[in-house]
Structure 1
Amino acid sequence: MGFLKIALGILLISALAFVALTVFGEWKWRGLTESLMDRLEVAKLAPNAARFDAQEIQNLPPVVQRYFRAALRDGVPIVTAASVDHTGMFNMGESVDNWKPFTSLQRVVTRRPGFVWDAHIKVLPGLGVRVHDAYIAGEGILHPAMLGLFTLLDLRGTGEVAEGELMRFFAEAAWYPTALLPSQGVLWEAVDEQSARATLTDGALALTLTFTFNAQGLIESVRSEARGRTVGGKIDMRPWEGRWSNYQERDGMQIPLTGEVAWLLPPEEGGRKPYWRGTIQSLTYEFTSVRQLPR
């Protein structure tokens, strides 16, 4: 009987300690998230245009013109920021698939381009990994932590890490399509009747992605021939692709509510390896106002 009481006491103390760690981890993670969000807002620049004018796409490749006419109503205001709630599945396995459910909140600003992705991945009942994935003022950040306390990886920098995060911002611009306009600094060149290359520059970084369009003229996939994949704490450059679907109209724009992101590995390494599948649950935009424009 005495042994049973001791065992129950140990279990109770362990449970209370775990609850305390969880609460403390949430508090600490919230502070880190707020700090990243503050940095994102500080880096924000004034918009350089008020609305989409169809005249600005007249000299673009036909496939790109078709996209903007399908995705944007003429005169729609320029998106300056967005808040996105996702749910989905994240593949935590490097060699063997290990899909886990996640929820996340993402804050995006379109000029200067940047975002903060704050995610919670449920590993086991009551046990989760918090993840910050971000691009802020030219710096890339990838920081997962068990319970928000115990760091599993902390990558930060202005080189390959930053390039990979800016690539994510660029590929996800299907959610905030005015950011792909020439007036927002994007350069387009034709590849064929279904695809085009787009180039985005931010500070010292310049990158080019290939956009492929579906039968309706909307973005079907976005591809890079080399993006940094983190394996064993190291970065390995591999082809990478995002696929978008389930388009619906939001605030005068056609945007995809469902997506999948994958590494394009050679057959001997398993071939195409999806690692993120998500659906937008809510999306709120902020738009340019005349008062924000430089005089």
Structure 2
Amino acid sequence: MNWFTGILLFGVVVVLVVAGLGLLGARRWAKATQVIHARLEALRRPARPGVYDPRDIEGLPAPVQRHFRAVLTPGQPMVTALTLEHTGQFNMSPGGEQWKPFTSHQRVVVQRPGFLWDARIAMLPGLPVRVHDSYADGRGLLHAAVLGLFPVADLEGGGELARGELMRFFAEAAWYPTALLPSQGVQWTAVDEHSANATLTDGALALTLLFRFDDAGMVRSVLAQARGRMVGQEIKMAPWEGTWSNHQRIDGMTVPLTGEVAWLLPEGRKTYWRGTVTSLAYEWST
């Protein structure tokens, strides 16, 4: 056997090993995904009332009223759950630019608030990082593993982790705008003609985000003054913002199909997620 044949055989063995590990990781990941989905469904509650009545928004700040009039249809059933798929890019570098393509599947339950973002980030051909980012039953979860087997992040619990995940659920409510209605538990306070603060409570957690609207009433951005950011093995607080665009009419509601998410750091804006919704399916109260 010459050196070339030896290298070729070694390469074949490596490919087969990686492929086998990938299949094993995919099976284990699917089981973990099913467990989280079951938690979300076990906590699911019906929406009350069952439909949107424009009288419900009387007395809200002017930009918030304009928003609901623009994005909802009178008599619109309340969203109780939805399933989304995304494509986009994720910046894997904490301090630089290392953008990698991702695809993801997301399940959201509106009452009680919860979601699971199940993503596959292509680090190298045949070497994906799988990610679970979730909020359920007042607890947050962040689990990332190469091939779904070798963890690079594994966090679960309450505190700032849970608070940060509930912030994500709240900021993404532009995809399920009936969840922002006062009848669904959200409290609004005026800021100016294009923005208002919204407060959401889930169990022991309560948080307030700043929603900014454009002239047409669409959500332009959502800002948290402080959200927990992983820096090494520590969680440090920093302002956090999601921006929305490409609003389209779907099933009687107007929702954004593209977005970006960024940390607002002293050294400047640090965008780390850019995505587009490729599939969106709603479940309704009626």
Give the TM interval when normalised to the shorter protein.
Answer: over 0.9
Deviation track 1:106-136 (CA, whole Å, cap 9, x = no partner) reads 0000000000000000011111100000001
Matched, 1:11 2:11: yes
Instruction: State how 1:129-148 maps to structure 2 within 5 Å.
Output: 129-148=129-148
Paired with 1:98 and 1:6, the residues of 2 have a C-alpha distance of 34
Unaligned runs of 5+ in 2: none
**What secondary structure is seen at the aligned counterpart in 2 of 1:153?**
strand
Deviation track 1:15-34 (CA, whole Å, cap 9, x = no partner) reads 21111101111111111111
Among candidates 283, 287, 291, match of residue 284 of structure 2:
287
Give the TM-score of the pair, scaled to structure 2.
Answer: 0.98
Which residue in the other structure is 2:247 paired with? 247
Q: One-letter code of the match for 2:276?
A: T
Which residue in the other structure is 2:273 paired with? 276
Q: CA deviation at 1:5?
A: 4.0
Q: One-letter code of the match for 2:278?
A: Q
Q: CA deviation at 1:233?
A: 2.1
Once superposed, which parts of structure 1, at least 4 consecutive aligned residues long, lie more than 6 Å away? none
Paired with 1:162 and 1:80, the residues of 2 have a C-alpha distance of 21
**What secondary structure is seen at the aligned counterpart in 2 of 1:167?**
helix
Matched, 1:158 2:158: yes
Q: CA deviation at 1:35?
A: 0.9
Paired with 1:253 and 1:2, the residues of 2 have a C-alpha distance of 66
Instruction: State how 1:1-295 maps to structure 2 within 5 Å.
Output: 1-266=1-266, 269=267, 271-289=268-286
Paired with 1:122 and 1:162, the residues of 2 have a C-alpha distance of 27
Which residue in the other structure is 1:292 paired with? none
Give the TM-score of the pair, scaled to structure 1.
Answer: 0.95
**What secondary structure is seen at the aligned counterpart in 1 of 2:179?**
helix
**What secondary structure is seen at the aligned counterpart in 2 of 1:16?**
helix
Paired with 1:75 and 1:47, the residues of 2 have a C-alpha distance of 14
**What secondary structure is seen at the aligned counterpart in 1 of 2:153?**
coil
**What secondary structure is seen at the aligned counterpart in 1 of 2:75?**
coil
Paired with 1:155 and 1:2, the residues of 2 have a C-alpha distance of 48
Q: CA deviation at 1:215?
A: 1.3
Q: CA deviation at 1:4?
A: 4.1
Paired with 1:28 and 1:72, the residues of 2 have a C-alpha distance of 40
Q: How many residues align?
A: 286
- Percentage identity across paired residues of the two chains: 58
**What secondary structure is seen at the aligned counterpart in 2 of 1:154?**
strand
Paired with 1:244 and 1:3, the residues of 2 have a C-alpha distance of 55
Q: One-letter code of the match for 2:82?
A: A
**What secondary structure is seen at the aligned counterpart in 2 of 1:228?**
strand
Paired with 1:196 and 1:154, the residues of 2 have a C-alpha distance of 35
Q: One-letter code of the match for 2:153?
A: L
Q: CA deviation at 1:139?
A: 0.5
Q: CA deviation at 1:3?
A: 4.3
Supply the RMSD in Å over aligned alpha carbons.
1.0
Paired with 1:102 and 1:61, the residues of 2 have a C-alpha distance of 38
Q: Greater CA deviation, 10-19 or 47-56?
A: 10-19
Deviation track 1:136-181 (CA, whole Å, cap 9, x = no partner) reads 1101001110000000011111110000000000000000000000
**What secondary structure is seen at the aligned counterpart in 2 of 1:155?**
strand
Q: CA deviation at 1:45?
A: 1.6
Q: CA deviation at 1:206?
A: 0.1
**What secondary structure is seen at the aligned counterpart in 1 of 2:68?**
helix
Paired with 2:196 and 2:37, the residues of 1 have a C-alpha distance of 33
Paired with 2:25 and 2:139, the residues of 1 have a C-alpha distance of 25
